[in-house]
Amino acid sequence: MRTRKENGLTYVPGKGYEGVNYRYMNLINGKSYVGATIRELERRRSWANWSNAYSGSKIANARKSSKREDWKYEVLERSYSKDPVVLEKMVEEREAYYIALYDSCDNGYNSNRGGDGMSGMSQTEESREQISINHRRYQSEEAKKKIGDAMRGREVKESTRRKISKGNTGKQRTPEMRQVQSDRMKGREPVAATIGAKTWVKENGGGYWSNHELSDEAKANMKAAQQKRGTAVIAHFPDGHTEVYNTMLDASKACNTAVGSIFNNLKHSSEQFKTMTGYWFERKEIEDGTINTNG
């Protein structure tokens, strides 16, 4: 019997956790998008929500110009392992095989050939620093010149300039930060800005807002915005009664349950799948910006 775990993984007794290689075929032109996941249900829900971004730009653009009924979903292969990390590596390696089989990179919607095995894996600060050093070490002067030549003379659209200007408006930079940024832009020291930022944080004890108080009005506006974009949930308490909350954060504070646990629990929305604290949650429909408490 296949069971759904709180972390969103599917477990099959005797086999282990389940991962899938799948494809979405465009019924209009026959082209395919090949994917790999160890959370099939979550991935399919993401696809079903047409407002969600999905993987690379090629499939994203294809979805924008099509309808749900234009696509056919097919599971190509199911894999099993008792170790989720190993399982993820397995399905990603098979992803490369299926991308080649269906020619979905050159003649389909995959943005790369897959199989890098890095999806979902976190890097330590030491490994990130080593990767950065390696990139700097092995980038030849010839390659740098080609990049420079390609960038030189490139025109920036007026709309892009306005976005950059808007993003920089109001930012406070110390003279030291301005200097390291200038050095970095001139190519004198690629890591100057990073070192300068870390030094500033160490000396000043945090970012700009650590020493600045938000006004009550600003806090109220932030709270209202959070409530508006939040996910309303119904919390089922261990004693059987229910409460409705505007956001998962509100429910988290009231029920002493981590937001992540509530998020994972919402994927199942069943009394059979309770959190460690004994609650289970389901989404609440919203009407006209207010919670619909009439069921």
Read off the amino acid at residue 145.
K
Judge whether residue 18 has pLDDT over 50. yes
* Top-confidence residue, 191 or 117: 191
Residue ranges of the chain that CATH labels 1.10.10.10: 223-291
In angstroms, the CA 37 to CA 39 distance is 5
Model pLDDT, residue 119: 37
Residues 198/202/203/205 CA torsion (nearest 10 deg)? 120
**Beta partners for residue 283, in sequence order:** 233
The CATH superfamily holding the domain 3-101 is GIY-YIG endonuclease (3.40.1440.10)
**Beta partners for residue 266, in sequence order:** none
The dihedrals phi and psi of 116, each to the nearest 5 degrees, come to: -80, -15
Provide the sign of the torsion angle of the four alpha carbons 256, 258, 263, 269, taken in this order: negative
16-26/290-291 β-pairing: unpaired
Q: Which of 187, 212, 210, 188 is nearest to 200 (CA)?
A: 210
Judge whether residue 8 has pLDDT over 60. yes
> What element of type H or E holds 170?
none
Judge whether residue 274 has pLDDT over 80. no
Model pLDDT, residue 6: 59
In angstroms, the CA 282 to CA 292 distance is 13
Average pLDDT, stretch 235-255? Answer: 88
Model pLDDT, residue 19: 93
Residue ranges of the chain that CATH labels 3.40.1440.10: 3-101
- The model's pTM: 0.41
Which of 85-94, 160-169, 248-257 is the least confident region? 160-169
Selection from 35-39, 145-149, 168-172, 183-187 with the highest mean pLDDT: 35-39
Selection from 140-149, 232-241, 281-290 with the highest mean pLDDT: 232-241
Q: Residues with Cβ < 8 Å from 121, sequence gap 6 or more? A: 85, 88
* Radius of gyration from C-alpha coordinates of the chain: 25
* Top-confidence residue, 193 or 277: 277
Please determine, looking at this structure, whether the domain spanning 223-291 carries the CATH number 1.10.10.10.
yes
Selection from 20-34, 153-167, 281-295 with the highest mean pLDDT: 20-34
